[in-house]
Structure 1
C-alpha cells in the first residue's frame, strides 16, 4: 500500500510519522533540508518558553523509549537542544522513512487536475519532489503538510508587501527576518526591531542585555499599532510562566530607557544611506539611522505547491476555515484557544491535511502542544479510528491577555474582555 507522505521533518512532521507507525501505517517524511528540523536549526540559539515535557510528543516518546532513550524532563531548551536531544534521535529512530534534500514542489491527484471531479477520490495523491539526483514522483494514500511557515516571513512593509527598498536592504544583510544571535557585534550599534509578537520581545530582551553592558548600544522597537496593547503579554496571568516572563523582561527594558518604543509606525520605505539603514513611515516620520534592522512581523503559509489540491482557506489568515474561526486575532478576544483536530483541519480534498504552524496561517501563538494534538487526531482519522480523532486530549494554556477585540488603532483603555488591559507606560515621542 502507498505510504502516507508527510511534508517536513520538523516537530509535527516527525510526530505524525511516529503516530502512523504506532498504528501500523507506513509513513514517508520528505524534508527539503539536509537534516531533521532544518528550520529549528536556524534558530538554534533561541530559548523556548515551553518546558521540556510540553515539547515531546506522546507517540514519539514511546518510540524513542523503546530504543532506550530517556526524555529530558526539566528546564527550557534552546532550539539547538530541542534538535540534538529529541528531534534528531527521533528522526534516527524513523530511519529511512525520512528522506532529506527532498523538496516538494507539487501535490495533486494522479491523472486529475484541480478541475476534474470524475474518479478523483479513487486516485492516489502524487507528490512531485526535486532532489540532488533529479525529479521524482511519489504516490501516496494521504498527505500531511507539516512544512511550517519559517521560509515565508512577513515583510516589514505595513501593507503586507515589501517596503520600498526592503528587498535591497535584505540582500545586503542590513535587514534580516530572524531573531539575532546577540553577541559583541551588537555592542555600540543601533538596532531597529519591527514587530509585536514573542519573537520581537525575545530580540528586544536579548539586545537589552547588551545595552546594559554598553550604554552606547541603542535599540528602537517599532510597533505598527497605535497603542501598546498586549505587546508585553499576560505576565503572571500567562499559564506558560516563561512566556509571561519574556514580555515582562521586554517591558522592563523599555521602562528603564534601554529600549525606545515607537508606536503607530507603519513602515513605508527602507533606505541605505552612507552605510546605515533609515526606516520611514507612511506618515513621513523617519527613525534615526540604524546599523541593522530586524523585521519580526510574523510568517505566512506557502501554498504554491498545493495549487492542484482543493483547499478551504480563510481569506484573511490563509488557514483552514474552521481553524481560522478559533484563532483569528481580528475577532478572537481571549487569550485561550481550543485544540484543533482532524475535523477542523479537513479540506474538500479527502486525505489531505495541513498541520503545525502552517495550519494557523498568518495567526500567531502556535505551540508545539497544538501540533502534537493535531497529528494525533489526524492520524487516528487516517487509520479509521473516528472516535479517537474526535476526542480532544489537550487543554491549551491561556496567554493571560486579550487581543483582537476592537479596532486597529483604538485607545488603549477601550481594550478589555476577559482580563484587564496591561497598564500603559510612558513612551518617548517618535522620531520626527
Structure 2
C-alpha cells in the first residue's frame, strides 16, 4: 500500500485560499460539515440535489428511527442553533424521519450562517482537479478542485473549491434485485412495478399497494418496515397480500434477539416473526433472482431456488436490497477504496459487516478517510460503501475531524472520540445517512 502524505497543507496561493470548501449533499452529515466549518471560520458551499434540505431523508420521512434524539444532533450544529434560541427535542424520544428534518435539519439550514451557502436543485455530476485528469501529478495538490453541476433545467456549470467533502449518501443508488449485483435482466419491462425501499405504504403510496400482491425483496430492516406496513394495509383493504423474498434461508440482518443492542430493533424483528407465524407474510426463501418479465398485469421473477429454476408471480416489487455508493462522478479523483465494500481502504476493516455491528465500529476520522487526492474526503453513509452499519453520531465525528484537518488543527483532527451507550445508534440498510429505522 502506498503511504500517503496526510500532513495538512498550508495554502499559500491567494486564489486557492479564497475558494470555499465544496460539500456534496445537504443531509444530516453535509449540514454537520457546514456547521463545523462555520465554527472554524472556513467558507463553504453546499450542493443539494433535492429541492429542499435533506431530500433523501424526507423521502422516507414516514419511518421512525430506532435511535433517540440525543444521538441525532451534531454538537457544532446544536451550538449554532441554541445560540438562536432553538430548543433540543426530547432526548429520549425517537423521531420520524420527517421530524428529523422539520425540527432539526430545516432550522439548521435556515440559519444565517448556512442559508446563503446552500444551493438546491443542483446535482454534482463530476469532480476533478482544474486542468488535470487523474493521471497528472506535478503540482496537483496546489490546484483547485472543479465541481461540475447540473441544474433542474439541464444546464451544466462548474465551480472551483479548495477542498471537497462528499456527503451525498447512498439512498439514491440502490443495489439491483439480482444476487449477482448486476442490473436485473428484464428490468425495463417491469420498472413501473418496482418501488424503491421504504415506500409510504399507509400514506402517499397507498393506492399503489392496496388490493395487490406485493413482493418485498431484501433481508434488512427497511424490508421489515415495509412488510409490517403491508400487513396493516391488508387488514384494511381486502385483496392485499405480501410475500417476503430473501436469498438465504433466513433474514440474518433482521434481529429479534432479546440481546439486541437496540430494543426497538429487536421488537421490529419480533413483529415480523409473529406476522410470518400467523400467515400474514408468505416467505419465499433461498430465491436468487436472475431475470424478470411482464405477464399481462403481473410481474414474473425468475430465479434459482434449491437447485431449480422457478418463477414467482406478483404485482408490485419493493427493492429493499440495500444500497451502494455512486462513484461515477469521482472518475477523475484519485481514490483508495477497499475492493470488497468500496469504503476508504483504511476504514474498511473497522466497518466490515461480517465482523461489526453498528455498536462495535470504532471512532474514526480524517486519517481513515484520507485518499491519495489531498483535500478530498468521502464522509457519512457513502464512506461506508456497501456496509450497512453506519451511525449518525459516527458521521458527525468524521466531519468534525475532517474540518479540523482542513483548518490545520492536527491535534483536534487526530483526537477522535465517540461517546455512545451500548445501545448505540445505527442506520442499518436504509442508506440514508440517518439513524436506524423502526
- TM-score under structure 2 length normalisation: 0.85
| Partners of 2:72 and 2:314 in 1: CA distance | 37
Q: Partners of 1:224 and 1:390 in 2: how far apart?
A: 42
Alignment pair present for 1:166 and 2:192 = no
Tell me how far apart the structure 1 counterparts of residues 349 and 296 of structure 2 sit (CA, whole Å): 47
Contact 1:18 1:59 survives alignment (8 Å): yes
Q: Distance in 2 between matches of 1:340 and 1:261?
A: 39
Aligned-pair CA distance for 1:195: 0.3
1:255-309 alpha-carbon deviations (Å, 9 max, x no partner): 222112222110112222120112221231222x322111110111111111111
Question: Which structure 1 residue ranges, 5 or more long, are not aligned?
Answer: 401-432
The SS at the match of 2:110 is helix
The residue aligned with 1:176 is 195
| Candidates 207, 219, 231, aligned match of 1:208 | 231
RCO higher in 1 or 2 (8 Å CA, sep ≥ 6)? 2
* Pairwise CA RMSD: 2.1
Q: Which residue of 1 aligns with 2:337?
A: 313
Q: How many pairs does the alignment contain?
A: 396
2:76 matched to 1:76?
no
Provide the residue aligned with 1:428 in structure 2: none
Checking the alignment, whether the CA contact within 8 Å between 1:370 and 1:396 is kept in structure 2 is no
Partner residue of 2:301?
279
Residue aligning to 2:165: 144
* Distance change in 2, residues 1:76/1:167 (3 Å): farther
Aligned partner of 1:339 in structure 2 is 363
Matched, 1:252 2:277: no
The alpha-carbon deviation at position 211 of structure 1 amounts to: 3.2
Matched, 1:125 2:145: yes
Question: Which whole-Å CA distance do the structure 2 matches of 1:128 and 1:355 have between them?
Answer: 19
**Structure 1, residues 386-410: CA drift from partner, whole Å, max 9, x if none?**
222222321456689xxxxxxxxxx
Gaps of 5+ in 2: 1-17, 425-438
1: CA distance between counterparts of 2:379 and 2:358? 23
Match of 1:45 in 2: 62
Contact 1:125-1:143 at 8 Å conserved across structures: yes
Look up the match of 1:36: 53
Give distance in 1, aligned partners of 2:49 and 2:390: 22
Q: 1:390, 1:327 → 2: CA distance?
A: 19
Q: Which moved more, 1:384-393 or 1:112-121?
A: 384-393
Is the Cα contact below 8 Å between 2:213 and 2:240 reproduced in 1? yes
Contact 1:232 1:248 in 2 (8 A): no
Contact residue 16 and residue 376 of structure 1 kept, 8 A: yes
How far has the Cα of 1:232 moved from its partner?
2.7
Contact 1:338/1:396 (8 A) holds in 2: no
Q: CA deviation at 1:331?
A: 5.2
Question: How far has the Cα of 1:334 moved from its partner?
Answer: 9.0
Output aligned runs, 1:21-420, within 5 Å: 21-73=38-90, 74-93=92-111, 94-131=114-151, 132=153, 134-170=155-191, 172=192, 174-183=193-202, 185=207, 186-213=209-236, 216-225=239-248, 227-228=249-250, 230-233=252-255, 235-282=257-304, 283-287=308-312, 289-330=313-354, 332=356, 336-395=360-419
